[in-house]
Structure 1
Amino acid sequence: MKRNYEYLLSDLNLLKGVGTKTSNLLKRKKINTIFDLLWKLPKSYTDRSLSSKIKDLKIDEIQTITIIPLKYSFPRVRNLPNRVLCKDDTGEIDCVFFNSYEGYIKKILPIGKEVTISGKIKYFRNKYQLTNPKYISEDSSIIKQKHNSYSLTEGISEKVYNKIILQIINNLPQIEEWHSKDILKKFNNISWNDSIKKLHEPENIGKFKENFYQRLAYDEIFSTFLVNSEIRKKIKRIKKTKKIFDIKKQNEIISKLNFSLTNDQNKTLSEINKDLCSENKMFRLLQGDVGSGKTIVSLLSAFNTVNSGFQVAVMAPTEILARQHFLLAKKLFSQNIKIDLLSGKSSYKDKKIILNKISNKQIDIIFGTHALFQKKVEFKKLGLIIIDEQHKFGVNQRKKLSDKAGKDCDVLLMTATPIPRTLTMTIYGDMDLSIIREKPNIRKPVKTYSKLEDKIDDVIKFVKKEIKLGNQIFWVCPLIEESKKIDHSSAIKKSEYLNKLFPKQVFLLHGKTTTDEKEVILNKFLKNEFKILVSTTIIEVGIDFPNANVIIIENANKFGLSQLHQLRGRVGRGSKESSCILMFKSNLSDNAKKRINILKDSNDGFKISEEDMKLRGFGDILGFKQSGIKNFRLADPIHNHNLFILAEKEMKRIENYNEDISKFKPLIKLYDRADIINDIA
């Protein structure tokens, strides 16, 4: 049997007592290897170590006794239980079995032999009774111990599960230490092997601050940092043709803007330009709060790339956002820069013409959705890919994108999702990072108010006043249709209500709206053809509606802080004063009150995301857990913030000294990252 770390990556069938049925049950819980089983932690334990006499038994409690079976009673009438009369030197007890065969009962409770038994005690017809006891053995040491309780897969008993875990613990390989002495000192020199054993000891349940737990959480964090570092190094090793351009041409465009770039925008543009002019491939994330001006920075980067003789592809998550970027670029750049839009609505003939122009370098910058990266799209000289709202891409997808882009093509990914530093380090650690925190001076802070839902008449008066001034309104509801189970306002019901008050001025948008219908509705709203857009949260991402300066969010307490901030970012895009009204019921929880107050006090998305993570946990921040971007088993960016900082510091030290990371191979393999970097020596 393998006894190095590869044993832990073996299939479950390698374990004694784990056949096809048990293996399939475990795999349904995403437990595919022996290693996976180690992270299903005990939630409580039952102490069966203390032995009692029959005369001292307590009813309805789990007790352990040593008894001698005296007599079997196997009735011939169906549905009646089998009984075994047992005794010790203080009294008698019946062991009762339903649906158990005579042979099995005689085997586990042989007449005249001393047996230790444990289970919940009942009292029936003036006699103590144990029904269907699972813990029975002639070897008392097997029973007299603390037994862990786990969240079990249906069909696997606690006894079987404990037996499987104990087998793994007893067979744990002695893995050579991968951490430096300085790191190990931080955890009192405890080994990985001993940490795992302590993790499953009943007395250690919930001891998250102990050295064994901290060490394992650190392993998990550090393995992620290692992988990210390797990906960064691999991309940096790709030598590309330097992009050479005249910075004066960029500055001419900046001078014609009707606003000044912020310090953060200038700093970020400088970082990107340095990457473009380098012989190393750029793989950079541009992270900025809603309305911070990422798009102008990315378009200036595109302009510089074109002026160095290369083409640029700009990909947006929706066609309407791609069109908006396209129109802004046309406004910014002279006709010397050849720009086009690859639209799903274009005719076959037009698409063919555009594809032909791309392949012949008759288009400098092409805008579109994910269709830009289909096989039929061939670039003559692609030098930069810009992807907006990239948080839908995981580490694997980003690596594949970089590989596909080719050696001379730089990659710039953008997101308007400010997230806490510990999450940024983890989720985007494979990339270089530029952050825009400042907002342009032309952006006025959105004023945020809270309002009880029974004060809706006040809100309607406010809406009427805004419409008279020529403004537009977003009205956000959590649900599409009315629900009997959940007392939330539905988008459909609300649009019907508002239609009566504002005839022909209300449109509805929700998750069941087709893509084509959605594009038509949003374009009409953009052209100010109606005044109120009732919507679910699908209006979160990216589009500028300069004339929309009010957003009303119903049941605001049901949303996370980050999501509310993203929704609020749909207004305040123009020069007008903007408002966000958070509507809620009177019976708010303390957390809901905190969320609403934080949002009213701040327009800083980074600060808000930190508070959101503290209140809700990192998995809930804008659905990162649901997106499968990161799901730690032990580590938590809130509670283990110090470990993230320690891992980052250690990673930088290793990179600065260019240390050989082959000793970390078991760590990386164990934490299931071999599919990303599988060629470590």
Structure 2
Amino acid sequence: MKGRPEQLFPLFGEMETLQGVGPKTAEHFAQLNIIAPRDLLYSLPHGVVDRRRRASIAGLELPATATVEVTVGQHRPARNKGGAYRIDLTDQDTEFQLVFFHGRSRYLTAQLPEGSRRIVSGKLELFDGAAQMVHPDYMLPLAEADEIPEFEPVYRLTHGITQKTMYKAVQSALTRLPDLAEWIDPSFKAKKNWAGWQDAMVAAHAPAGLDDLLADAPMRERLAYDELFAHQLTLAIARSVEREQPGRPSVATGKLQSKVLAALPYRPTGAQARAIDEISADMARARRMNRLLQGDVGAGKTLVAFMALLVAVEAGGQGVMMAPTEILARQHLEGLQPLANDAGVVLEILTGRDKGRDRKAKLEALQRGDIHILVGTHAVFQQDVAFHDLRLVVVDEQHRFGVRQRMELAEKGQRADVLVMTATPIPRSLALTQYGDMEVSVLDEKPPGRKPIKTAIISTERMSEVVDHLRTAIAEGRQCYWVCPLVEESEVMDLTAADARFKHLRAVLGEEVVGLVHGQMPPQDKDAAMAAFQQGRTRVLVATTVIEVGVNVPNASIMVIERAEIFGLAQLHQLRGRVGRGSAESTCLLMYQPPLTEGGRKRLEVLRQSEDGFVIAETDLQMRGAGDVIGTAQSGLPRFQIADLERQADLMAIAQSDARALMTADPDLSGTRGRAARTLLWLLRQDEAIRLISVG
């Protein structure tokens, strides 16, 4: 099955083959990304007009759409140029007027001869106490009355396309629906009581009221599931092709791990122990590991990742840990060094700063296998970096690292295992969408000894009190982050905002005390500002959100976030996690600019009440939507035409397990249901997946 199945040909033909669509209209349709009848069918109506016939307009609350049988009365052509042409009509009980601007007598007398019976349908309004219908949508002889649908679907339009054109084109496309074999699991379909694809599509374009437009209306839900299932099937195929790549079993001996565990001042949490077991089991298998380690701020991902790296070393190989920035790479080095000392393994760092002889020596040691674990930035991608025996790649903060880089890095080792860490708790539905090809380990417990962070909501009008509070804290030897808002997505404006706050705080707290770090700075200045804060030389660090990910300053115990109401919840939660890492009581002050909207207040309240990143992320998803939670620009989320990620998370989970089950039972999709599923992939333009499976 190399090309698109023949039964789908009519749906992928030219738009001009549809009724009422000429070359010009086809161009307008392209503006809506509708280039084939199939695209038209997947553009479902978003509204419905009740055009059921009534005997009279009497008693209608105007304005309203009405469809009524009338007798045509007197024509009253416009008296002056640009005036209105009026026609008197009488229904069973009362009378009203049709109004036409620029109405042409010849046309109107032909369409609506005096004394004839007609059906008219359109919007009725009151004007100077009289009911009138301006430019009716329909005016037909009784014999043609069937052309008016009882409920007329309302579609998204663009310049040059009217509801009538759209309706006609859709009706024409619906006549081409092929009868496709069912791809949904029969027992699940029966449980949901869903119609077949063809019937669902017809019904979705014929809503009989507002209820039929809801996401959970059965025909819409069925079509949404098709989209989610096709998406998860694509990920499952990618995953199985990836897994066909032979991995190398790395079996833990526990020799090095036990040394680290013995030296720890606490016992790992249940969640950490579980994640370590899952990862070790994965690494011992003969196929490549591709796993996501998802943990909330402070859940102890570093220890889990280090234990995984030790598995690689125990098996006689090497591990590498990648960080998105030099600051984070150095921080990983500091965090891991004591653990490496306990285990007795050699840990090194490689970044863009390494030059000349120093770099050469490191590369040679790496190639000989004298360095067991390497921490680095993307500098470890460079051509001249070769490992003796790379078995595990740990990638920190996935969203800065695409799938392509994951692959590139894995190429460096003999099919090395991959572990991706993210500190952003992602709601389950989005995790399935974004990382559906990976196995997931979740750390959902806090290690002992982490103190709760006090969170307060405070108006910017009380700025001076906040500054006084800071002055006292600094005198007690504590440190503080002050995060400035992202202003209107413009870095230049952010800078002005951060700069102004920096100057203001220096003026009131003292020049040496306050540092500044922002996105526009050269990297070395940024590093220097961070280092000064980490070493305690500056006490207050004014920053735009560049500090969000992973910076660790245990002495920092106050986090001030200005204009907190314009940040996303997940982002606020990340920022708050920068404090509460030491022994001091920590506070997070969320400053808002009054007046707060209802939504804004609700979001900040969620933060005040909860420190659970997963609860916060779910709330964020409900309140803002999927694109915003992950950041639309780099979200990599598929654009579904019918499915609604926020409201249909449960369907996504079912789609994932169903897709994986189908791939396990029928890896090359050649069985009856497998072939039907291939047709679905073609129908939903997932041709990539089909190519993968033909290759695989």
The reply to whether TM is greater than 0.5 is: yes
Q: Is the 8 A contact 1:495 1:534 kept in 2?
A: yes
Q: Which of residues 261, 272, 275 in structure 1 aligns to 2:279?
A: 272
- The whole-number CA distance in structure 1 between the counterparts of 2:382 and 2:450 is 37
Q: Is the 8 A contact 1:3 1:173 kept in 2?
A: no
1:662: which partner in 2?
Answer: 675
Q: Cα distance, 1:388 vs. partner?
A: 0.6
Deviations 1:284-319 (A, max 9, x none): 111111111212322332233244343433222222
Q: Does 1:154 align with 2:162?
A: no
Q: Using a 3 Å threshold, how does the CA distance of structure 1 residues 333 and 198 change in structure 2: closer, same or farther?
A: same
Q: What are the equivalent positions in structure 2 for 1:565-576 lying under 5 Å apart? A: 565-576=573-584
1:560: which partner in 2?
Answer: 568
Q: Secondary structure at the match of 1:279?
A: coil
Provide TM-score, normalisation by structure 2. 0.82
Q: Using a 3 Å threshold, how does the CA distance of structure 1 residues 319 and 676 change in structure 2: closer, same or farther?
A: farther
Q: Does 1:190 align with 2:181?
A: no
Q: Does 1:674 align with 2:679?
A: no
Q: Does 1:526 align with 2:530?
A: no
1:50: which partner in 2?
Answer: 53
Greater fraction of residues in helix: 2
Q: Using a 3 Å threshold, how does the CA distance of structure 1 residues 400 and 170 change in structure 2: closer, same or farther?
A: farther
Q: Cα distance, 1:550 vs. partner?
A: 0.8
Q: Is the 8 A contact 1:86 1:95 kept in 2?
A: no
- The whole-number CA distance in structure 1 between the counterparts of 2:489 and 2:9 is 53
Deviations 1:502-538 (A, max 9, x none): 1222233344445444333223222222111222333
Provide TM-score, normalisation by structure 1. 0.84
2:173: which partner in 1?
Answer: 168
- The whole-number CA distance in structure 1 between the counterparts of 2:98 and 2:572 is 62
Q: Is the 8 A contact 1:169 1:197 kept in 2?
A: yes
Q: Which of residues 397, 414, 428 in structure 1 aligns to 2:435?
A: 428
Q: Secondary structure at the match of 1:678?
A: helix
Q: Give, as a single letter, the amino acid of the residue that structure 2 aligns with 1:554.
A: E
Q: What are the equivalent positions in structure 2 for 1:615-634 lying under 5 Å apart? A: 615-623=623-631, 627-634=635-642
1:252: which partner in 2?
Answer: 259
Q: Give, as a single letter, the amino acid of the residue that structure 2 aligns with 1:663.
A: A
1:509: which partner in 2?
Answer: 517
- The whole-number CA distance in structure 1 between the counterparts of 2:356 and 2:73 is 85
Q: Is the 8 A contact 2:326 2:351 kept in 1?
A: no
- The whole-number CA distance in structure 1 between the counterparts of 2:161 and 2:570 is 40
Q: Is the 8 A contact 1:60 1:121 kept in 2?
A: yes
Q: What are the equivalent positions in structure 2 for 1:9-28 lying under 5 Å apart? A: 9=12, 12=15, 15-19=18-22, 21-28=24-31
Contiguous gaps of at least 5 residues in structure 2: none
Q: Using a 3 Å threshold, how does the CA distance of structure 1 residues 43 and 393 change in structure 2: closer, same or farther?
A: farther
Q: Which of residues 35, 39, 45 in structure 1 aligns to 2:38?
A: 35
Q: Which of residues 368, 388, 392 in structure 2 aligns to 1:384?
A: 392
Q: Give, as a single letter, the amino acid of the residue that structure 1 aligns with 2:396.
A: D
Of 496-505 and 17-26, the range deviating more from structure 2? 17-26
Q: Is the 8 A contact 2:387 2:413 kept in 1?
A: no
Q: Cα distance, 1:259 vs. partner?
A: 4.4
2:217: which partner in 1?
Answer: 210
Q: Secondary structure at the match of 1:475?
A: strand
Q: Secondary structure at the match of 1:202?
A: coil
2:351: which partner in 1?
Answer: 342
Q: Secondary structure at the match of 2:208?
A: helix
Q: Secondary structure at the match of 1:545?
A: coil
Q: What are the equivalent positions in structure 2 for 1:221-620 lying under 5 Å apart? A: 221-244=228-251, 246-333=253-340, 337=346, 339-343=348-352, 345-347=353-355, 364-373=372-381, 377-379=385-387, 381-392=389-400, 397=404, 400=407, 404=411, 408-480=415-487, 490-504=497-511, 505-585=513-593, 587-620=595-628
- The whole-number CA distance in structure 1 between the counterparts of 2:562 and 2:424 is 22
Q: Secondary structure at the match of 1:669?
A: helix
Q: Secondary structure at the match of 1:46?
A: strand
Q: Using a 3 Å threshold, how does the CA distance of structure 1 residues 351 and 399 change in structure 2: closer, same or farther?
A: closer
Q: Give, as a single letter, the amino acid of the residue that structure 2 aligns with 1:413.
A: V
Q: Secondary structure at the match of 2:424?
A: coil
Q: Give, as a single letter, the amino acid of the residue that structure 2 aligns with 1:559.
A: F
Of 163-172 and 3-12, the range deviating more from structure 2? 3-12
Q: Cα distance, 1:69 vs. partner?
A: 11
**Number of residue-to-residue matches in the alignment:** 672
Deviations 1:9-48 (A, max 9, x none): 5564554444555445444444454333334332322334
Q: Cα distance, 1:546 vs. partner?
A: 1.9
Q: Using a 3 Å threshold, how does the CA distance of structure 1 residues 584 and 338 change in structure 2: closer, same or farther?
A: closer
- The whole-number CA distance in structure 1 between the counterparts of 2:218 and 2:574 is 39
Q: Cα distance, 1:412 vs. partner?
A: 0.7
Q: Is the 8 A contact 2:237 2:663 kept in 1?
A: no
- The whole-number CA distance in structure 1 between the counterparts of 2:158 and 2:382 is 42
- The whole-number CA distance in structure 2 between the counterparts of 1:115 and 1:348 is 91
Q: Is the 8 A contact 1:62 1:120 kept in 2?
A: yes
Q: Secondary structure at the match of 1:241?
A: coil
Q: Using a 3 Å threshold, how does the CA distance of structure 1 residues 96 and 449 change in structure 2: closer, same or farther?
A: closer
Deviations 1:596-626 (A, max 9, x none): 3332333221232233334444443343686
- The whole-number CA distance in structure 2 between the counterparts of 1:509 and 1:567 is 15
Q: Cα distance, 1:198 vs. partner?
A: 1.9
Q: Give, as a single letter, the amino acid of the residue that structure 2 aligns with 1:320.
A: I
Q: Give, as a single letter, the amino acid of the residue that structure 2 aligns with 1:186.
A: K
Q: Is the 8 A contact 2:366 2:386 kept in 1?
A: yes
- The whole-number CA distance in structure 1 between the counterparts of 2:120 and 2:325 is 65
Q: Secondary structure at the match of 1:40?
A: coil
- The whole-number CA distance in structure 2 between the counterparts of 1:388 and 1:549 is 24
Q: Give, as a single letter, the amino acid of the residue that structure 2 aligns with 1:337.
A: V
